[in-house]
Every structure is written in C-alpha cells, then in structure tokens.
Amino acid sequence: MSDPIYPILKARWKVFTDANSYQSVEYGQKFEPALRTLHFRTYFDPNDVSVRTLASGFIGRENGIFLINVYSPEANRELDSRNLAWDVRAHFYPNDFGIWLTSGGVTVRIESPPSVKKTIPVDGYLVTPVAVRWFADLLAS
Amino acid sequence: MRMKLSHRSGKRSTRASGLVKDWVQGTRVRLNETVRGIADEIAERVIEGTPVDTGHLVHNWQVGINVRPRAQLAGVDPGKSEVKARVKAQNQALSIEDKEWILANNVPYAVNAEYIGWKFTPPYMMVQKVVPQFAEIVRLVKGRLRRRR
C-alpha cells in the first residue's frame, strides 16, 4: 500500500539535497559519510517494518511520519544544525502552507508543519530530527 | 391562580433540571471512559513498540496527569506486563477536566531509541508510530465502549 507514497516523498527530498549538494543516506544503504561531515539520514524504506508508520485510518487513506535526521559535526555550532533542520521544514512546508505532491494517481499531502525536535549530541555529531507528517489518498488512482 | 401556576411551573422546571443533570452526569461518565480508553490504548501501543534489551526502557514509561514525571525509575520489566498494569492504573485518575496527559520516559537513551537508533538499528519511533494511528484509536475505543453499553 505504501509503495507509491515513498517515491513521491523521495523525489521531493531529492530536490532539496540536489539544490544544496548535501549528502543524504537512506537507512539500509551502504554508505559511509566521511568522518564529521554534514549529512542527512532518512528512514523511509517501505520494506523495513520497524520504521513504517502507516495507519489504516480510513479506506484508501494512509498517514505516517517521514523522519529526517540532520547530522551536523559537533565542531559546528548547534545553531547550524537547527537552521538546517528549519530549512528542511521549510522545504516540506513552504511559506507556512502545506503542499500536495501528486504522481501516478496518488496524492501525498503535507498539511501540518513538520516538527523540528530537540538537538541531541551523538558520536561527535549534533543531530536534529525533523518529523514530516504526511497523508495520502490512494483511491484517486 | 397565579400561585398555582408558579407552583406547577416550578415543579416542571425541577423535573427538567433533574433530567439535564442526569444527562450531564451520564455524558461526563461516558467522556471520562472514552478519554481513559484512548489513553490506555495509546500507552499500550507505545509500550508494545518499545524495544527490549534489559527491560529498563520499558519499565520507565510513566504517566503524568497535568504534571510531567521527572524521575527515572530503577528496575526492569522485559515482559512489559507490569508497566502496562501500572500505566492503566494511573490512567484511571484521568478525567475530561484534566489539561494534559503525559506519557514520559526519562531514560537518557529513550531519545536515541525514538529518533536516532544505533549503528545497526534504525530508530524505533515508539511514540511517532502511534501518532498517525490516533484517529483509528479513537474510533476503536468508541466502538469498544458502545458495544459494552
């Protein structure tokens, strides 16, 4: 059920990373970022049940949370990590207004501002999680 | 004549206000049951989604009503049964007049388990997985209570 949703979110995410030449690693990918470099870690592999956040709320409708972690080297200030997290938030919720992403008859809606969580120090990085809540209508196809 | 009328209307209004009072009381009881049911179901799902190594993280789920629990509890509960019973008992004090119901975990690595994960483990998103299920939980609890009545 979720298969058509993640490619839509991934495409939107790619626009952000390509525009800024950011490194991004999806969970499960074999990728080792150079030590202490700024990068993002995303968790939207639909086959990984442990990170799936799907709920059968209504017939033909799914909703879930797409998590993006901003990994900023500890040498940078905490503010940098948070600023980037707010950029991610703005990318998925531009002008404080939601977006609709449509592809292949499926519409993914981001209707509430993504939530920027508290920054946590982890292994030499400052990590700021950003949780993007999405809704999808699947009957449209 | 006048007195009689006012006497009658007074009686009627007493009966009517009694009915309203009963309705208000009944509605309050039903709402409280619903709110507690929702809290129980949310807590149950969050606890179910909590990973178990020693059971210390599981053991530390605590309920706060209008006040955030700040302490870290000593002990473990790998079977999850004790914590579920404790949380359910704490939820019994919840009512619709309360402003906040807080499910807290004060173990320092709870944040890692929720958002970051570890080198070979993705984040468990214990709470975040339940957030999108809220509408489903409300419907489930309402249906469960309707069947019971």
Label residue A81 exposed, middle or buried (CB < 10 Å: 0-12, 13-18, 19+). Answer: buried
Residue A123 Cα to chain centre, angstroms: 21
Between chains, do B133 and A67 touch, taking CB under 8 Å as contact?
no
pLDDT at B10 over 70: no
Task: Categorize the per-residue pLDDT at A56 as very low, low, confident or very high, splitting at 50, 70 and 90.
Answer: low
Structure tokens at A77: 């200030």
Structure tokens at B53: 């190594």
pLDDT at A140 over 70: no
Reference A109, options A117, A98, A119, A118; nearest CA is A98
Residues of A in contact with B117 (CB under 8 A): 27
How many residue pairs bridge chain A and chain B with CB atoms within 8 Å of each other?
A: 56
Q: Using CA atoms, how far apart are residues B110 and A90, in angstroms rounded to an integer? A: 27
Residue A115 Cα to chain centre, angstroms: 11
Decide if A67 contacts A51 (C-beta within 8 A).
yes
pLDDT tens figures, B64-113: 999 999 999 999 999 999 999 999 999 999 999 999 999 999 999 999 99
Q: Which 3 state secondary structure label does DSSP give A16?
A: helix
Decide if B34 contacts B42 (C-beta within 8 A).
no
Residue in chain B nearest A44 by alpha carbon: B122
